[in-house]
Structure 1
């Protein structure tokens, strides 16, 4: 049986405090058929040196200025040769050492285009702040503000080639727009892997301050209108309310 090749893309910039933990969580995975790609935005701190320590276990490294994290992700997708692609940002790490084995098995057993799972948001001290438990997807759920956690989103490379990469027109909502486009608009097949596969430290670019959150709401709405969500203002309200239960 063909063993799926999984391309993992890490984008980073001046991530000296977290990049090593991220890299180690990839190279200690038990799954053998991994293509690891790191796209560094031209870091000026110790990040390049840390990456260089692991160069023998990383298939591709690019270090150059970019137009932001989604532009960097697109560079990684362009280089990817795996059957399946997933993103692991520098602040994130796999929750256990057989995550990629579980993802590969789920793709094979369920003959699906996309897999997503659950994640924990961590405080700086490592304690859990929020628990994002997505639940199984059924068609139309994006109309009710549903979305899967992007760090757990794995899809076949062919979807990017057919439906496009991350659109820079949506700013920090580019990941939401892409998942809307693939799942809601293009109706790619989806499987929910019911387990925590990613630990994510708080402080993402879209959540840093009030102005940032307000801008994200506008961009979310823009993504909804673009991809045929029914009644976007209502969907946006549901989306906001759904985040509250992650704290309990």
Structure 2
């Protein structure tokens, strides 16, 4: 089983080495690594070229103008030839060396279409201190009605479903990942399995990880996603997940304290 990994870059030179090294460190080697660059102006291309030979022909990359993050992701998906596709952002890296081994092992089962797990967030100043833990353990299909979703960087899907159900909608600015997962998980009802694994370490500060304005944009785009997929939703229902987030914040403070000790 071949896994296609896609990383989108734009002026990612400061963090991309961590991302690439975590891919090279994976014990599972039947992969193809696809990097889609948006004409970076920093040293991103130099970093890509530095590691290219280490992949021994398993890396493909392009650098050209795109119409944003989701357009670049779609380019990578169209280039992919693997059985399974996953996204690894250029600010992120795998938490352990056996993540893809676990993914491949579970997806050997033909009755499973996708797997997902947990991620955690760190600040760039201290990559070893967890500031937020995003567990997908409680996730179930029905919770998408409240705006919940599995951690997108932990989501691995059989490539055939991109061909059958479509790609990311590029006119979304911040929540095309939610719309896509709503389409494949809630509407198409793909068969999934949760992996109790901390799969990806994410740096705080991505397009949808913080800020009041980003929460407003997310709410607006979530409502649009439901509407376009013919599913009823309202602001009240989507606000209920913030009650859960309060508990998550308290839990994360305890978790971070324990790590420090």
Partner of 2:44: 47
1:90-169 equivalences in 2 (<5 Å): 90-109=90-109, 111-124=111-124, 125-126=126-127, 127-135=129-137, 137-169=139-171
Partner of 1:216: 218
Contact 1:84 1:154 in 2 (8 A): yes
Is the partner of 1:8 in helix, strand or coil? strand
Cα deviation per residue 1:37-92 (whole Å; 9 max; x = unaligned)? 00011101011101101112152101011111111000000000000000000111
Contact 1:170 1:222 in 2 (8 A): no
Partner of 2:202: 200
For these two proteins, the number of residue pairs brought into alignment is 245
> Given the two structures, how large is their TM-score scaled by the length of structure 2?
0.89
Q: 1:233 to 1:211 in 2, by over 3 A?
A: closer
Offset at residue 208 of structure 1 (A): 5.3
Partner of 1:176: 178
Mapped to 2, the partners of 1:232 and 1:115 lie a distance apart of 29
Q: 1:93 to 1:39 in 2, by over 3 A?
A: same
> Given the two structures, how large is their TM-score scaled by the length of structure 1?
0.93
Contact 1:116 1:149 in 2 (8 A): yes
Mapped to 2, the partners of 1:116 and 1:179 lie a distance apart of 12
Offset at residue 8 of structure 1 (A): 0.3
Mapped to 2, the partners of 1:162 and 1:99 lie a distance apart of 26
Is the partner of 1:170 in helix, strand or coil? coil
Cα deviation per residue 1:201-226 (whole Å; 9 max; x = unaligned)? 10011345433332222111211222
2:3 paired with 1:6: yes
Structure 2 gaps, min length 5: 252-261
Partner of 1:225: 227
Mapped to 1, the partners of 2:140 and 2:149 lie a distance apart of 11
Contact 1:221 1:232 in 2 (8 A): yes
Contact 1:136 1:192 in 2 (8 A): no
Mapped to 2, the partners of 1:144 and 1:208 lie a distance apart of 19
Mapped to 2, the partners of 1:55 and 1:139 lie a distance apart of 39
Partner of 1:35: 32
Structure 1 gaps, min length 5: none
2:87 paired with 1:87: yes
